[in-house]
Amino acid sequence: MTLPLNTIICGDCLEVLKTLPEDSIDCVITSPPYWALRDYGVDGQLGLESHFDEYITKLVKIFSEVKRVLKKDGTCFVNMGDTFAGGGYGIDSNLENTKQATNKGTMESRLKIQQLRKNNKQLPSKCLMMIPERFALEMIERGWILRNKLVWIKRNAMPESVQDRWKKAHEYFFFFVKSQKYYFNLDAIRTPHQLVSLKRAEYEQGRNVLGQNPSSLGDKSEKYGMPARVVKLNDKGAVPPDFLDIFTNSGEDGAIEHYATYPQTLISPLMRAGSKEGDIVLDPFFGSGTTGLVAIKLSRKYVGIDLSEEYWKIAIDRLNANNPLF
């Protein structure tokens, strides 16, 4: 099959992925449906398995196909949120602060999800299920290399009514690669040096000029044969920390709030670091199309897959509205 560039394919992502050429994708950025958090009302949807182990098994099977189509030097970013055991949509559901918690559907759907959590007695009620971590470990077992666990900090996370824990205001982005040598453009995401770093570099350089030993060990440095410390800051900026302090989607491109979208500003640094202009970016859980929008804005190509015909239509309309040439 020829790679369908700048195309959204409506279908089961596992079956569609099997038709894509091997070693054809440069970067993957996606957010699979979280377990027991939302009923999309589509037959065969991921996330409504009777047990979370079954969910993770299905998910890593999909990512085995992702690994096949990903180039050897490709990158893969996966967004995941966690779930509390035993909760429903009551006081400890943890639904209000997850990206995919909105548009909860009918009461029947809500009760179905509540029952899924209650049926999983492997963990005590109210306990975090650690599903993102379980997923990451399974990916490593299958040969993926986990380079970072990025934390998405959501300062504008919705309030929660719980009384016995902190509010949930973060999710994870796992940064996976399939080989030890891969494309990564650090310069594209460098941040300004902090004032304390600039002052420390100036201080150390001054001591060198005076012929003083800048080592923190002082006179002991000569005894232990330690060289003088040289602090040289990269002119392009600092290495960014492993967190993304970005507000949740607030209609930045006219996207409808109740769809499970992540902000373009969240996806942009991942794509700029993990791919270059002209590269092909895959999102096997395309949803409302944010990955595609960012890909076009950053001069990349994309391939989108989504099971829901409703979301397929939404993504097409959204891409058309934001990119007339689409």
> Quick one: pLDDT at residue 324?
55
pLDDT, one tens digit per residue, over 206-240 is 766 565 654 544 554 555 555 555 567 999 999 99
125/243: higher pLDDT = 243
> Quick one: pLDDT at residue 322?
78
Question: Cβ(171)–Cβ(266) under 8 Å?
Answer: no
DSSP 189: G
Window from 6-20, 50-64, 99-113, 305-319 with minimum mean pLDDT:
99-113
Predicted TM-score of the model (pTM): 0.86
* pLDDT mean over 87-116: 55
- 326 band by pLDDT with thresholds 50, 70 and 90: very low
> Quick one: pLDDT at residue 90?
38
* pLDDT mean over 302-307: 98
> Quick one: pLDDT at residue 101?
54
* pLDDT mean over 66-78: 98
- Strands, E, within 134-185: which ranges? 145-153, 170-177
103/268: higher pLDDT = 268
Structure token pair of residue 41: 């009302």
Q: Which domains does the chain possess?
A: 7-190+239-322 (3.40.50.150), 194-232 (no CATH)
> Quick one: pLDDT at residue 248?
86
- Number of neighbouring beta carbons within 10 Å of residue 258: 9
* pLDDT mean over 33-62: 90
Between 264-274 and 290-297, two packed helices, what is the crossing angle to 10 degrees?
Answer: 60
